[in-house]
Amino acid sequence: MIDQFEVNVKVNRRNRQARKVKKVEELGKVVDRKEMDSPLGRLYEEKKEERKEEKKEVDKEPWSGEEPAKRMVANGFFTTTNVGGTFKQTDNFKTPMDSCPSFKNNMHKIRAPDCPIPEEKLVKLANGPESFICAAKITVPDFNRTMILTQVPDLSRSPDTADFWRMIHQESIVSVVIAVMPLEVTLQQILPLLSGTYSTYGKMFVNNKKVESAVGMTEYCLEILPDGCSNSLLTTVYHMHNWRQKRGLEVVTDLVTTMEKVMKVNENSVLMSMNGTGRAGIFQEKPIEFRNIHTHTQ
């Protein structure tokens, strides 16, 4: 009898609490401060936050290119045969090595020797014409700014890193996308990682003014100043640190978010990956694809 009595007490207590929860939800408020601090009050607050999140999902603005993108997929635009066939044609677009004398004479500084850069597209350093930097200016339709593809500098040679920052200042680069994994390169050898710190690379001064971190990408706001120059340049570095070499990006939204930031700024940009070809090249193609989607074309 005693055991049955205790069971009945517990059941009645739970029923009373359930009725109170329902009452609180119907009223949409907590009666007093004691109720707010009680388990019931905390439960109400949790449910209220859940409803807020659900409302956000409902009110979220849809992506304008979703329907055209679905049609492109349905029409076979991204099939293995289509993409693979386009990839096989890339060899036909390579520039003959004989028309790339600077590239040919600096093979020891190049990570991807099978991707020659034509002389007219090669970035030339005004303050160091004898210095070679493996970087190419690329033309992107509807993007009327300078876009440069480059490789990670040879970190065993300090002049290479200095030349990279000299190029950033010379070409007035406002956005830099670095698509490398942390295990591939020690990023601290390329730029100061902590807000309020600075580093010097040869005669180039790089000051970290601000850092904003997210799951798949970190933003660094940097001030670039050559020695003896009074005009500094502010540039933002976007480090995409979850994109493995020779692999697709697992979280595509990281790529889309970064690309939208770069396109929104709409200023001179540099795209860097380990060899300056794969990931940097993919990123460079995305504005064209987005333009096609948003204009409902294929």
Q: In this predicted model, what pLDDT tens digit does every residue of 99-116 receive, in sequence order?
A: 888 899 998 889 998 889
Contact present, 126 and 133 (Cβ < 8 Å): no
Phi, psi of 148 (to 5 degrees): -125, 135
pLDDT of 33: 47
Mean pLDDT of the 112-134 span: 85
Mean pLDDT of the 141-162 span: 85
Enumerate the β-bridge partners of residue 273.
151, 179
β-strands 233-240, 175-179 pairing = parallel
> How many angstroms separate the CA atoms of 24 and 48, rounded?
11
At a CB cut-off of 8 Å and minimum separation 6, what does 200 contact?
A: 206
pLDDT of 294: 60
Element of type H or E holding 165: helix 158-170
> How many angstroms separate the CA atoms of 217 and 259, rounded?
11
Could you give all domains of the chain from N- to C-terminal order, each with its CATH number?
2-59 (no CATH), 94-294 (3.90.190.10)
pLDDT of 205: 95
Contact present, 127 and 170 (Cβ < 8 Å): yes
CA proximity to 190, closest of 215, 216, 165, 223 = 165
pLDDT of 35: 55
Element of type H or E holding 67: helix 66-74
State yes or no: pLDDT of 174 exceeds 70: yes
pLDDT of 166: 94
Average pLDDT of the chain is 78
